[in-house]
Structure 1
Amino acid sequence: MTAVLSARPGTCAPATVTGADLRVPLVTGEHVRYANLDLAASAPALTAVADHVAALLPYYASVHRGAGYASQVCTNVLEQARETVGRFVGARPDDVVVFTRNTTDALNLLAGCVPGPVLRLDVEHHANLLAWGPGRVLRAAGTVEQTLADLRYALLADRPALLAVTGASNVTGELLPLEEIAALAHAAGARVVVDAAQLAPHRSIDITASGIDYVALSGHKLYAPYGAGVLVGHRDWLDVATPYLAGGGAVHAVTAPDEGGATEVSWAPAPHRHEAGTPNVLGAAALAEACRVLPGALDPAHEAALLHRLETGLDALPGVRTLRIWPDSTDRVAVCTFVVDGHPAGRVAAYLSAEHGIGVRDGKFCAHPLLSRLAGTFDGCAVRASLGLGSTVDDVDRLVDAVEWLVTDGPGWDYAVVDGRWSPVPDPRETDPLGIGSPTGATLPGCGH
């Protein structure tokens, strides 16, 4: 059937994100526009995505086996979403699209399907480092060129079934040459999976053209934070592996056992084999809508200019050091991680939020082995600023000016570790603007309800 909410072509109109005009309180009592420079962790929803989900909500119903009209609409939306996400990553005609919760979930699903050891680098996010079980973790060399040479040797020596690599580092934004890596892996008889959680929000992906076998990504980093991720790739491993979850929707038939016997199950092929339970239709629809809108909104040149302005500004400040893995890397997405001498990363992040209304990330970014090498701080922690849709020159300059103020004059408020996190002391800001702790709720500032 043709559903009411059919797939729509992408648009080249400027894409906007929800919360672009959000104003947040400072410890001084002022309110300022929020500068969200933490997009690498989670990105706000595109306005088009939020509108699409709102339009779908009245039709929400269970899928695949419902005779009701709303159920048929949602079934159509879900299956169209597979096609849309597949096109977004350049899937091959026989590739399968499996909806998951996020990138971590997708990689763990694939880990249960791989018929052999997995090789990965030590620069990976924990999701792409810890999911795989047997296999070597190769220390990345000091240059891209040497890292590729080491990968070639390890692939030929170890003969892994799979090579797992990041599409873009979540710490430094640096990209590896994925097409070359895929060729190296295939020459050694291995397949390649790319953790594209950081790559997909900034660059187009074509797994057919690049030779990538599997790709995993998250909706919450792709301006669709509705609890869905995806694994896309070859069907054969997925069709014969043990189902990721056992339950309804993953089977063709279940036969009741005779007394003392075992239940006989005929499992469905992928994708349904690995999607037991009621699927996240709203999440899949949101992810697909982001995949329709984002290609027309990406502007790598603008992001590169902002990143250059940010990094140049920070590098000019005394005691501030930006982090890189490879001096010969030639392409990056808009992620900049830095340390400030004499200032713990957690306190820097708390200061930027409390006194300047700037949101950044601090810590080890689920990449502990890499940060232990790069940070050079007593606790291995750093500060990460990440840009994307909606980021402006003003956001960049506010951050650089705030860090300059910090290294020149110090913070204007007291900070201490409270419940394991650096916080302003005291913190006079409202802690429950949504009214969650109130039985009647609260009115959000500026929301008109």
Structure 2
Amino acid sequence: MNHHTPCLPVVGAHTRVPLINGGSTTYANLDCAASAPALVAVQERVNQVLPLYASVHRGAGYLSQVSTALYEAARTSIGQHVGARADDVTIITRHTTDSLNLLAGCIPTNPDGTPGKVLVLDIEHHANLLPWQAASGGATVITAATTIRETLTQLRAELARDNYTLVAATGASNVTGEALPITELVDIAHAAGARIVIDAAQLVPHRGFSLTTSGADYVVFSGHKTYAPFGAGALVGRRDWLDAGHPYLAGGGAVHNVTLTTITWAPAPARHEAGSPNVIGAVALAAACEALGNLPAGELERHENVLRTRLVEGLSAIEGVRILRLWEDSCDPVGVVSFTVAQCDPGLVAAYLSAEHGIGVRDGRFCAHPLLTRLGVENGAIRASVGVGTTVDEVERLIAAVTQWVEQGSDATYDIINGCWAVHNDPRPTPAGSGLDGLIATAAAAVADVAAGCGPTPRTRPTQTDTHPKENSPVPVA
């Protein structure tokens, strides 16, 4: 395999973006962990089925029958991609957060009538933390140790100390790409009489996963991170909780019968899919799953390993750069790398990479505040993440750009607009038909991330010298 070429073609791979020097460059999308571009195969499948779209499940029309068949076939493909067992159920959701909140409403009570409790680690994305804390039985959050072995020991000890119904664990960290061994996690949970759900938002797009092989009870993942950004995700796993759990939405399609005084709810998946489902999103996610599943065994892992290894080696060689890690003994992380640059605001570095090099990365706290706090980077970090469409050239561009920032600084002036760094009087044009009134509008939109708790602490306006990186480089944290 040629590691300088992508595993699978993605939409937008040749898109050019403007730079503040008046030129342009091909966009280097190193933000796949946030939202991955659509596969060309997904785009082609969506274009193929759009003319066939109609209402599903209750329509007698020919296209309704076709759309119903497409939707249910997509459900089957999605379940097969994660090794669903014969009696498992696949529920189409909006994304990972949706899936986890749905499952949180299905946790049964204990035989003594007390609410079921959930055990999680502090390394989780908020989507795999907040729903459990808000559930009727609440959640116990324990701090991960500095090694995988010690962390597993802590989990085992806590499960022995108290009665837990569910263990919720990430399949791969959205901050560092590292993970605990899933099969061992499953064994530990089951030995204590608990079930386990794997948050595979960062795992399914990068690695194979199987409910059957791992023995996990549930898995959740998102289409927008799995090269199918059409608004669908999935919850796949054991049927009994999902058949009996509180219906996620009350509405049409989730019932067998309704009177003015009674409701007879349908079993899963219909029980949790009230309203008109996202047929196109499900078809798109299935197409992505099929394309990933058709790759030769090990090809994606080898591709990402080359990219991640070069990324870590290149960034580590730059003075002042720190690569974030969870565990001293971790191995085989997925293609997610977070780092800091000494005495530099991560938001400013990210703005510089975009404006002067056409590189897209993520900055902030990545909806994992407790983890970033424990790692000592409460002001946030920079995250570069790769995928099936990433090339080595794009990784080299990032390494060179960060090196230039550290050694030479920036040619531009940056201001803080609504709490986010942006180019002063940004000269870059906006895409035709985008509806944006200058790229500064994107900075205002980014404030929503801060309000949602995913970004860094809102920043105050820097001093005059701080807005001129070339004269005062690197710019200290605001």
Q: 1:160 maps to what in 2?
A: 164
Q: 2:396 maps to what in 1?
A: 397
Alignment of 1:35-434 (within 5 A): 35-115=28-108, 116-133=116-133, 134-256=138-260, 263-297=261-295, 298-374=299-375, 376-377=376-377, 379-434=378-433
Tell me the distance in 1 between the aligned counterparts of 2:271 and 2:293. 30
Tell me the distance in 2 between the aligned counterparts of 1:272 and 1:289. 22
Tell me the distance in 1 between the aligned counterparts of 2:334 and 2:169. 16
Deviation for aligned residue 1:419: 1.4
Tell me the distance in 2 between the aligned counterparts of 1:436 and 1:409. 35
Tell me the distance in 2 between the aligned counterparts of 1:124 and 1:360. 20
Tell me the distance in 1 between the aligned counterparts of 2:272 and 2:266. 9
Tell me the distance in 2 between the aligned counterparts of 1:193 and 1:433. 44
Q: 1:27 maps to what in 2?
A: 20
Secondary structure of 2:212's counterpart equals: helix
Q: 1:436 maps to what in 2?
A: 435
Secondary structure of 2:139's counterpart equals: coil
Q: 2:466 maps to what in 1?
A: none
Secondary structure of 2:337's counterpart equals: strand
Whether the 8 Å contact between 1:135 and 1:160 is mirrored in structure 2 is no
Letter of the 2:367 counterpart: C
Secondary structure of 1:136's counterpart equals: strand
Tell me the distance in 2 between the aligned counterparts of 1:114 and 1:146. 28
Tell me the distance in 1 between the aligned counterparts of 2:379 and 2:357. 25
1:176-210 deviation digits (Å, cap 9, x = unpaired): 10000000000000000000000000100111111
Letter of the 2:286 counterpart: A
Deviation for aligned residue 1:373: 1.6
Whether the 8 Å contact between 2:84 and 2:212 is mirrored in structure 1 is yes
1:314-373 deviation digits (Å, cap 9, x = unpaired): 111111111000010012001110000121000000000000000000000000000112
Tell me the distance in 1 between the aligned counterparts of 2:273 and 2:124. 26
Letter of the 1:394 counterpart: D
How many residue pairs were aligned?
418
Secondary structure of 1:20's counterpart equals: coil
Secondary structure of 2:193's counterpart equals: coil
Secondary structure of 1:97's counterpart equals: strand
Deviation for aligned residue 1:431: 3.2
Tell me the distance in 1 between the aligned counterparts of 2:385 and 2:338. 8
Deviation for aligned residue 1:436: 2.8
Letter of the 1:434 counterpart: G
Whether the 8 Å contact between 2:7 and 2:388 is mirrored in structure 1 is no
Moved runs in structure 1, 4+ residues, more than 6 A? none
Whether the 8 Å contact between 1:24 and 1:31 is mirrored in structure 2 is yes
1:246-286 deviation digits (Å, cap 9, x = unpaired): 00000001113xxxxxx211100000000000000000000
Letter of the 1:90 counterpart: G
Tell me the distance in 2 between the aligned counterparts of 1:299 and 1:292. 14
- Please report the RMSD computed on the Cα atoms of aligned residues, expressed in angstroms: 1.2
Letter of the 2:355 counterpart: A
1:389-410 deviation digits (Å, cap 9, x = unpaired): 1111111110000000000011
Tell me the distance in 2 between the aligned counterparts of 1:92 and 1:393. 38
Tell me the distance in 2 between the aligned counterparts of 1:188 and 1:300. 33
Tell me the distance in 2 between the aligned counterparts of 1:435 and 1:323. 36
Whether the 8 Å contact between 2:7 and 2:389 is mirrored in structure 1 is no
Deviation for aligned residue 1:66: 0.2
Tell me the distance in 2 between the aligned counterparts of 1:158 and 1:123. 21
Tell me the distance in 2 between the aligned counterparts of 1:40 and 1:65. 37
Q: 1:445 maps to what in 2?
A: none
Whether the 8 Å contact between 2:32 and 2:387 is mirrored in structure 1 is yes
Deviation for aligned residue 1:15: 2.1
Deviation for aligned residue 1:302: 1.8
Tell me the distance in 1 between the aligned counterparts of 2:344 and 2:23. 25
1:192-237 deviation digits (Å, cap 9, x = unpaired): 0000000000100111111100000000000000000000000001
In structure 2, the gaps of 5 or more residues are 1-5, 109-115, 438-478
Deviation for aligned residue 1:434: 2.8
Distance 1:119 1:223, change over 3 A: same
Secondary structure of 1:299's counterpart equals: helix
In structure 1, the gaps of 5 or more residues are 1-12, 257-262, 439-449
Deviation for aligned residue 1:432: 4.6
The TM-score normalised by the length of structure 2 is 0.86
Letter of the 1:264 counterpart: T
Whether the 8 Å contact between 1:66 and 1:72 is mirrored in structure 2 is yes
